[in-house]
Amino acid sequence: MKAAIVYESLYGNTRAIADAIAQGLEGVAEPHVMSVEEAGQTQPTATDLLVVGGPTHIHGMSRKPMWELAVKDALEHPEKGLVPDAASGGPGLRAWFDFLDKATGKAAAFDTRLKGNKLVTGHASKGIAKRLKQHGLELIVEPASFLVDEANQLLPGELDRAREWGKTLGAALSPAP
């Protein structure tokens, strides 16, 4: 089985989580991690599982103008230790979903966001999950959030949690007889 993991990432947290999810899927599926920019060259729905994740910005999925300001801020203030990810110049998930064809198949959504009650922080995976369903895909697990601190650094243990979530996805993809 094949799995495509498409991520949007400004500072690299969501990319790191996407890589860890792929590690968890290995053995059950052949995972292919790609930035939303790379995914824009193809229609990656021709897989057994499409996993899509992005950062939470202003309580939901990122928007290009805010994204550009945040990249500018990171470049102008290196003391914050935030390095724009290689994928940070990409089109963003909102534009990508507009480009994506209708599809059938299995899918899952995740995000990275601040630690705290998601009613307060918001969570991008809600919008991602909604768009996956609108495209005709079936969500096989509940959307998941992976958490960062106030300095936008992943909390200890979140990569392990992402690997476990990848295993959960693998189990949902090929349930035991």
Quick check: 122 binds ligand FMN (CB under 6 A)?
A: yes
Does 161 bind ligand FMN (CB under 6 A)? Our answer is no
DSSP 137: P
Nearer to ligand FMN by C-beta: 5 or 28? 5
Closer to ligand FMN at the Cβ: 27 or 116? 116
Q: Which of 5, 152, 161, 162 binds ligand FMN (CB under 6 A)?
A: 152
Closer CB to ligand FMN, residue 91 or residue 105? 91
Q: Spell 55-94 as b/e; 16+ CB within 10 A means b.
A: bbbeebbbeeeebeebbeebeeeeeeebebbebbebbbbb
121 part of the interface to ligand FMN, by CB under 6 A: yes
Contacts of residue 151, defined as CB under 8 A and 6 or more positions apart, other chains included, come to: 80, 81
Q: Rounded CA gap, 137 and 159, in Å?
A: 26
Segment 38 to 57, residues that bind ligand FMN, using CB under 6 A: 55-57
- Name the token pair of 141: 């697990």
Question: Per CB under 6 A, which region of 6-14, 20-28, 34-42, 135-143 contacts ligand FMN?
Answer: 6-14
Could you say whether residue 84 binds ligand FMN (CB under 6 A)?
Answer: no
Q: How far apart are CA 159 and CA 177, in angstroms?
A: 29
Provide the minimum distance between the beta carbon of 175 and ligand FMN in the complex, in angstroms, as a whole number.
31
Euclidean distance between CA atoms 82 and 137, whole angstroms: 34
End-to-end CA distance of the chain: 17
Stretch that binds ligand FMN, among 42-50, 92-100, 108-116, 125-133 (CB under 6 A): 108-116
**Residues whose CB falls within 8 Å of the CB of residue 42, separated by 6 or more in sequence, listed in order:** none
Q: How far is the CB of 114 from ligand FMN (least distance, A)?
A: 3
The verdict on 75 binding ligand FMN (CB under 6 A) reads no
CB 139 within 8 A of CB 108: yes
By CB under 6 A, name the binding residues for ligand FMN: 9-14, 55-59, 66, 70, 112-114, 121-122, 148, 152
